[in-house]
C-alpha cells in the first residue's frame, strides 16, 4: 500500500479501532440494559397502581351497593309497616262501633271530671254543638 501512496492501517491500528468500537458498543449496551431495567420497574409499578385503582373502584362500588341494599330493605320495611297501619286504621273505620261511647270519653281520667256528662249523672252536659258544658249558669233543669 505504501508503494501505491496510500497509507493504510497497521494491524495494531485495526485492532485498536475494533477494541474502541467494542468498548463503545459495550457502554451503549450497559446504558440500554439499565434503561430496559428501569422501564420494567416502571411498568410493574404502573400495573400495581392500575390494580390498586381497580380495587379501590370495586370496593367503592361494593360499598355503595351494600348501602343501597340496606336502604332499600329499610324502605321496604317502612312501607310494610305503613301499609299495615293504614289497613288497621281502615278496618277500624269500617268496623261498626259496638261500644257506645260516653260523652266524656275524651276526658282523661284523674282530672276530677270522671263521670261528668255521662248518663250516670253529674253536673256536666253536652250542648247541641258538641261542647261539654260543666255546670252552666243558664242550664235548665
pLDDT at 8: 72
Same domain, 126 and 108: yes
Domain count, the chain: 2
% helix, strand, coil for the chain, step of 5: 60, 5, 35
Under a CB-based contact definition with an 8 Å cutoff, are residues 104 and 112 in contact? no
pLDDT digits (tens, 9 = 90+) for 26-42: 999 999 999 999 999 99
Which element (helix H / strand E) includes 133? strand 132-134
Same domain membership, residue 112 and residue 72: no
Do 91 and 107 have their domain in common?
no
Cell numbers at residue 122, please?
A: 253529674
Are both 81 and 106 inside the same structural domain? no
Q: With a cut of 80, say whether residue 134 has pLDDT above it.
A: no
pLDDT tens digit sequence for 93-127: 888 765 545 544 666 776 766 655 454 445 666 66
Q: Does some domain include residue 2?
A: no
Model confidence over 44-103: pLDDT tens digits? 999 988 888 888 888 999 999 999 999 999 999 999 999 999 999 999 888 876 554 554
> Are residues 58 and 25 located together in one domain of the fold?
yes
Is residue 106 located within the same domain as residue 89?
no
User: Can you give the pLDDT at residue 120?
Assistant: 47
Range of the domain at 86: 11-95
In a domain, 25, yes or no: yes
Amino acid at each position: 500500500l505504501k508503494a501505491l501512496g496510500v497509507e493504510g492501517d497497521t494491524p495494531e491500528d485495526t485492532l485498536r479501532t475494533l477494541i474502541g468500537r467494542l468498548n463503545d458498543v459495550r457502554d451503549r449496551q450497559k446504558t440500554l440494559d439499565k434503561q430496559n431495567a428501569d422501564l420494567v420497574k416502571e411498568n410493574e409499578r404502573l400495573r400495581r397502581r392500575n390494580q390498586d385503582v381497580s380495587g379501590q373502584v370495586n370496593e367503592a362500588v361494593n360499598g355503595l351497593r351494600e348501602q343501597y341494599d340496606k336502604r332499600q330493605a329499610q324502605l321496604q320495611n317502612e312501607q310494610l309497616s305503613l301499609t299495615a297501619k293504614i289497613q288497621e286504621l281502615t278496618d277500624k273505620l269500617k268496623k261498626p262501633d259496638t261500644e257506645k261511647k260516653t260523652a266524656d270519653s275524651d276526658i282523661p281520667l284523674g282530672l276530677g271530671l270522671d263521670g261528668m256528662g255521662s248518663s250516670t249523672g253529674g253536673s256536666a252536659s253536652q250542648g247541641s254543638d258538641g261542647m261539654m258544658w260543666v255546670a252552666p249558669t243558664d242550664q235548665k233543669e
